[in-house]
Structure 1
Amino acid sequence: MKYFKQLMIEVLYPGNKAASAHDRNNGIAVFLFSIVPGLSPNFNSFILLASMLWGAYSLATGRLAMNLSRSDRLVAVGMSIYPLVMIASMFINPPYSEELHWILRLLPFFSIWLVLPRMRQSPDGRLVPLFILGAGIGMIVTFLLSLLQIAFLMDRAEGGTTNAALLGIIGILFGGIALLNLQSPKSMEQRIAILGYAAGIGCVLLSGTRSAWLVIPVHLVIFLWYFRKHDFHLSLRSLAITGSLLLVGLIALGSGPVLHRIEALRGDLPSLERTDGEITSLSARFALYKGALSAISKDPLTGYGPQNRMASVLAELPDNIRPKLSFTHVHNGFLTAGIDAGVFGIAALSLMLLTPVIGAWRKKAGPGRDLAIALALLLFSSYVITGSFGIMFNQKALDPIFAYMVALICTDRGSIRFAPVVSS
């Protein structure tokens, strides 16, 4: 309890006596943002919106300066191209409907212009460790909530997201972020790192999100690269014992949902050869992919606009299948972007996905650059792999998370060395 008391003091009353109100508010916002994704994704949207409004007010009144480096501007422009292409596609492709609704949904991708100058009011090296620690704490609480859901006979855990697939994406991403705290010299932060990663993997297993399972080996490669370059203070023997115990526990707890999802996949495979119009989870995806590719081939340059997305896909499918596909996207982020805005949409999406890697790579060489690259690769791989089989963007939780993390990755200089959140 002493550690958590010190943690609250560090978050609410930073040790830097010269710290401004901006710095204190930044720390609170970043810490909360990393805790709540699996518990209440709507709160992430609220934090981002509040940060954007306060950033806009501060810039307009001169309290903050648009202090963005050349690399920052490159990342911000890369983020902004995607929503601009989507907005242009809306007005190129009639009929016009709900334009304001779609524009509001795209606002998070412009947030870096307003959020990054505010984040820069905090000392270098303060916000990223807070985010990593908060990710671990949030995953532990989310996993406990997911266990309760499974205990009350839910087939797939959802946490506080109301969507099992969304819990799987958040679990794999924030669990991976939490493990980066193994480099902390504080034993409590190391424990939170290990438990947070195990909890994130547990959320993935309990949610039954099969696409998130594919991310696990990719993240292990990222960890191998990062930790080989940077020492961590936990003994390998202790890590092996703890990891083995947690692995056994996760297998025992997650075996039911995992076997259920594998069996469901096996049961869906024969549906791919049927012609009687029966739709399963797997056959629905293949039908959507087929319809999307056919529609894109007919209008590869401008697409159809987000407002015409599913109508254009369903028009390419047989009449007996259309009523059974009540989806808002085609379960592939790249195909969805192609339907919305053609090849320009796919190119803009690809550029936006690369912005965290670009922002991290262009930092000066040093431990801060390595940490930023690790965060960027975890973010990039999580979205690309899971988004290739499900939803990627245009989602109330995933859009703010991506945009906020890109700004956070850009915040510190590359030469900044990692420091524990609680130093005393």
Structure 2
Amino acid sequence: MERTGRLSRFYWDIVYRDDASASFCWACGLFAVFLLFPGGGSGGSIVGIGIWLFALLNWAFDRRGRHFDEIERPIIAAFSAYCLVMVVFAVSHHVVHGSKGGFGAVYGNLLFIFFAPVMPVLRQAVRPYWLETFFAANACGAILAVLIMVIGGPFSQELLRGALSGNPLILALGAVVSGLLCVHGLLFFKGRMRLLLAIGALAALYALVSSGSRGPLLAYCITLAAYALVMGYRYFGLRFMAVRAGIAALIVALLAVGVIKADPELTNRIELAIERISNPDGEAVGEQSISVRLALYRAGLSAFGERPLTGYGRQNVMQTAALHDPQQGARFSFSHLHNGYLTDLVASGILGLVTLLAVFLVPLYVLRKAPPVVFGALFCTVLSYMLYGMSNLLFYHDVSTLYYLSLITAFCVLARLPERGGEVY
């Protein structure tokens, strides 16, 4: 690394200082990101973008930070492909139809490409204590979200349902991921860290149920069961994981029933959802969100069937879906089809879906041989997002996008830590 020039000397001597100092600063930044995301989502986005800006300084002044290794290259390629498909379709639809609406989706997902410099920079700075920092941050984030809800709830319905995350669904996504990471961490840590993770897991579950979001709660339960099966098969034994999964399921059931019964609005929504699922075409059923979702899915599949390769462009998804359902189309007053996969299919065809799936599956494949503490956390995150996207939008929201990018970056970094002797880390 060269320290010629005033800017270079200022960066290395004042900002960077030394390797230990830089590592500590990056660790504090990551802690702030994961602390804020579940309950203060936009705050986490601001810190995440700040980390990217500082990574650019390393990118500029340290040649080592410009080298991508065998883990980073395929992940960055998958992320770039997802964003570039949006660019191609937005440009083509602008040329053909003169519409710039598709560029909004491009703008919201540029960080899939721009976040790349963060990976090699953090890889050079990582230290063993980052592992505890990462899991502690997720636990503290869940606890902070609940504190915001409990303290602010009596004064604001928005704080009760969404904390400061932006909306209840974003809080639910953060609670699902941070809660499962806390549950996962209970297998690997002891002492005070285990106590903190246990509190964080309960806090995340409380925030998830209190958010009033039914789909994410179902995603949480499915991911928990799949996690027990995969980790039991790969590392701990199925009997070992079955016992712990049973205990976790009992805790989830007791807390969920307690919170749901104490919340008349949520109780009513769940009862109506059960009634609607058992009688999807019943006009007398008061629950409308599920019936509208079913109509959206049918219309979206019909639209995709007409243009499976070219799509209609992100800006035309809802307009096109409405045209394919004359009876329900007038009710499609949403920005998406309430299904991330179907929205991308209608927007950019098969290619859009393939690149979206690559965003999930490539990290899982590349890090399949990572230490169990990293692989299990990655598995929870990827599956949570995949299930969440079946009833909600995925990466057209700045908070959910940056949360995912930050988590995948952290897993790539933590996978470099040496395994601890005698432990299953």
TM-score bracket, shorter-length normalisation: 0.7 to 0.9
- Go from structure 1 to structure 2 and tell me whether the alpha carbon gap of 1:418 and 1:105 turns closer, same or farther (over 3 Å shift): farther
Match of 1:401 among 369, 387, 403: 403
- Could you tell me which of 143, 148, 165 is aligned with 1:145? 148
Name the residue aligned to 1:160: 164
Count of matched residue pairs: 392
Choose from 122, 131, 134 the match for 1:131.
134
User: Quick check: 1:361 aligned with 2:368?
Assistant: yes
Residue 259 of structure 2 corresponds to residue 253 of structure 1: yes
| 1:85-139 Cα deviation digits (max 9, x unpaired) | 1111111223321455433211121144211022113234333331211111111
State yes or no: 1:172 paired with 2:176.
yes
Distance 1:142 1:251, change over 3 A: same
Q: Which amino acid aligns with 1:115?
A: V
Instruction: Give the one of 115, 121, 124 matched to 1:121.
Output: 124
Quick check: 2:41–2:166 contact (8 Å CA) kept in 1?
Answer: no
Aligned residue identity for 2:271: E
| Structure-2 residue corresponding to 1:383 | 385
SS in 2 for 1:392: coil
Question: Secondary structure of 1:110's partner?
Answer: helix
Aligned equivalent of 1:342: 349
One of 186, 190, 193 as aligned partner of 1:182: 186
Please state how far the C-alpha of 1:80 moved relative to its aligned partner.
1.1
Residue pairs, 1:264-275, within 5 angstroms: 264-266=272-274, 268=276, 272-273=280-281
2:214 aligned partner: 210
Tell me if the contact between 2:318 and 2:332 (Cα under 8 Å) persists in the aligned partners: no
Partner Cα distance (1:189, 1:344) in 2:
43
Taking only aligned residues, the RMSD between alpha carbons, in angstroms, comes to 3.3
| Rounded Cα–Cα distance in structure 2 between residues aligned with 1:77 and 1:185 | 34
Distance (Å, rounded) in 2 between the aligned partners of 1:291 and 1:119:
44
The one-letter code matched in structure 2 to 1:42 is S
Distance 1:245 1:291, change over 3 A: closer
What is the aligned partner in structure 1 of residue 10 from structure 2? Answer: none
Gaps of 5+ in 1: 1-16, 232-236, 364-368, 420-424
- Identify the range of structure 1 (300-309 vs 279-288) with the bigger mean alpha-carbon deviation: 279-288
Which letter does structure 1 place at the counterpart of 2:258? A
1:128-167 residue CA offsets vs partner (Å, 9 max, x unmatched): 3312111111111212333456656849722222422222
Q: Supply the distance in 1 between the matched residues of 2:22 and 2:136 (Cα, whole angstroms).
A: 20
* Matched-pair identity in %: 19
Residues 354 and 272 from structure 1, CA distance in 2 versus in 1: closer, same or farther, beyond 3 angstroms?
same
CA spacing shift, 1:114–1:385, aligned 2, 3 Å:
same
Q: Distance in 1 between matches of 2:98 and 2:154?
A: 48
Q: What residue ranges of structure 2 are gaps of 5+ in the alignment?
A: 1-16, 238-242
**Residue of structure 1 aligned with 2:310, choices 280, 286, 302:** 302
RCO comparison, higher one (Cα < 8 Å, 6+): 1
Query: What TM-score, normalized by structure 1, do the two folds share?
Result: 0.82
Q: In structure 2, what residue type is equivalent to 1:315?
A: L
What letter matches 1:121 in structure 2?
Q
Correspondent of 2:293 among 285, 303, 306: 285
Aligned AA (1:252): G
Change (3 A) 1:58 1:99: farther
Stretch of structure 1 that moved more, 386-395 or 336-345: 386-395
**Under a length normalisation based on structure 2, what TM-score does the superposition of the two structures give?**
0.82
Which of 312, 329, 339 pairs up with 1:322? Answer: 329
Q: 1:296 to 1:52 in 2, by over 3 A?
A: same
Change over 3 Å in CA distance of 1:408–1:415 after alignment to 2: closer
Superposed CA deviations along residues 186-229 of structure 1, whole A, max 9, x for unmatched, are 52211111111111111121122222222324324424654783
Contact 1:37/1:44 (<8 A) preserved: yes
